[in-house]
Amino acid sequence: MELELRHLRVVCAVAESGSITKAAARLGLAQPALTTQLGRIERALGGPLFQRDRRGTRPTPLGELVLARAKVLLPAVEDLRDEAVRLSGIDPATLRCRIGSTGNSMVSGLVRLLSEDQPEATVIPHTSWSAQELVDKVAEGRLDFAVIGICGDMQPPAEHGLEWRLIAVDAVGVLLCDDHPLAGGAEVDLADLADSRWVAAPGEGCFGECFATACARVGFTPKPMYETDLRVCIDLVEGGQAVALAQPTFRELSDMRAYPLAGAPLRWRHLLGWHPEAPAQAVAAKVHQYAMAAYTDSLRHSPNYARWLAAHPRFGAQEHSPA
C-alpha cells in the first residue's frame, strides 16, 4: 500500500483521541473499519504505531516519529493548497461546485443559496440512487460534495477517506393521501398501518431491515414492499393502493402529505461529504452552513412536520453534532 496524506490524518486522529473508538467516531468510521485501516498503515510503515493498555492508546517510538513528520507535512500541504488558490486569482468560494445527492429535498435549496452567494460560481447538481456511487465520484474528483441519507446509526461509506458532517436528523414519515382514514393528525402510529401495502423509492443501506424490525416491534410483518421511482410512488399513494415511506420534509401536495411516525421508530440522517485533500475542503464549512439553511427552508413546504420538530428538538438541523 502506498502511504497517502489521509493515512497520516488517521494516525493523528488516533493519537489526539487517545483511543480507536473515539478516533473512529471523529472520522465517521466504524471502529472495525478504522482498526483494519490502521493495520494496513502499520504494515506499510513497518511496525506498530500504537500500544494499547488500561490508559488508552499511546504512540510507540515509530508512532512518535510518524506523528512528528505528519505535523510538519499536513500543515505544509494545507499552506500549499491555499497559496495555489491565491496565485490562481480565484476566490475558493467561486470554484466549480458539483454536488451529488440521493434525491434529497434540500438540494435544490442548497444549489439556490450557493448560486445567490456566488453568482460567478458554476454549481452543478447530480442525482443517483446509490450513495456508494456518489462517494466514488467524490474520491475520483468527478464530484466536489455528496449529500446522502443513511438509516439510524449506520455509518457512511468508509473508504476513500472522505470527511463527513451531519446536516440534520429526521424522523421517517409516511406519505398518505388526504382521504386516508389516518390522515389529518400530527403523526401516525405505525401499528395502525399493519394491513397496508407499502411502497418506497429505491436506495441502499439497511433501511429495509430497519423498517421490518420496527414493524415487528409493534406486532406485525409488513406486506412485501413495492420499490419504484418517485412518480409511481406518488401515483400509488394517490390512488389509495399503497402508503409510502417518505422524508417528512416531502413537499405537501394538494391531496397528500407526509406524517411522522409516532415515537420516531425510524430515523434518517442527512450527511455532507467531501474529500479533505480536494479544493472542496476550502469551502466545506460554508457549504455545510448552506445545507443546514436549505434543510430549514425546506420545512416551509411541510408545516405539519415543522410543528412536530418544534416539539421534538433532538431532530432537525444539527449544527454541532458529529456525523
Counting DSSP H helices and E strands in the chain, the numbers are 10, 13
Would you say 259 and 173 are in contact if contact means Cβ atoms under 8 Å apart? Answer: yes
This prediction has a pTM of: 0.68
Structural domain total, the chain: 3
**Which of 239, 265, 291 delimits the end of a domain?**
265
Q: What is the CATH number of the domain that holds 152?
A: 3.40.190.10
d(C-alpha 256, C-alpha 273), whole Å:
32
Over its length of 323 residues, how does the chain's per-residue pLDDT go in tens digits? 678 777 888 888 889 888 888 887 766 566 787 888 888 898 988 899 998 887 788 899 999 999 999 988 888 877 776 666 555 544 544 456 889 998 777 888 888 888 887 777 778 888 887 888 888 889 888 899 999 988 877 778 777 788 999 999 999 889 888 889 998 888 999 999 999 998 887 665 556 778 888 999 999 998 878 887 778 888 888 888 888 888 877 776 778 888 899 999 989 899 999 998 888 888 888 899 999 999 998 888 888 888 999 999 889 888 655 55
The string of DSSP codes covering 75-137 is HHHHHHHHHHHHHHT--GGGS-EEEEESS-TTHHHHHHHHHHH-TTS-EEEEE-S-HHHHHHH
Confirm whether 19 is domain-assigned. Answer: yes
Are residues 63 and 145 part of one domain?
Answer: no
- Domain range spanning residue 187? 171-265
In contact, 183 and 259? CB cutoff 8 Å = yes
Angle, alpha carbons 142-143-149 (nearest 5°)? 135
Give the helix/strand (H/E) hosting 151: strand 145-151
209 belongs to a structural domain:
yes
Assess whether 180 and 249 both reside in one domain: yes
Domain annotation covers residue 322: no
* Closest of 4, 6, 24 to residue 14, by C-alpha: 24
| 100 and 33 within one domain | no
For the chain, how big is the Rg over CA atoms in Å? 22
d(CA 241, CA 255): 15
**Residue 194 has what DSSP assignment?**
T
Same domain, 24 and 156: no
Does residue 60 lie in a domain region? yes
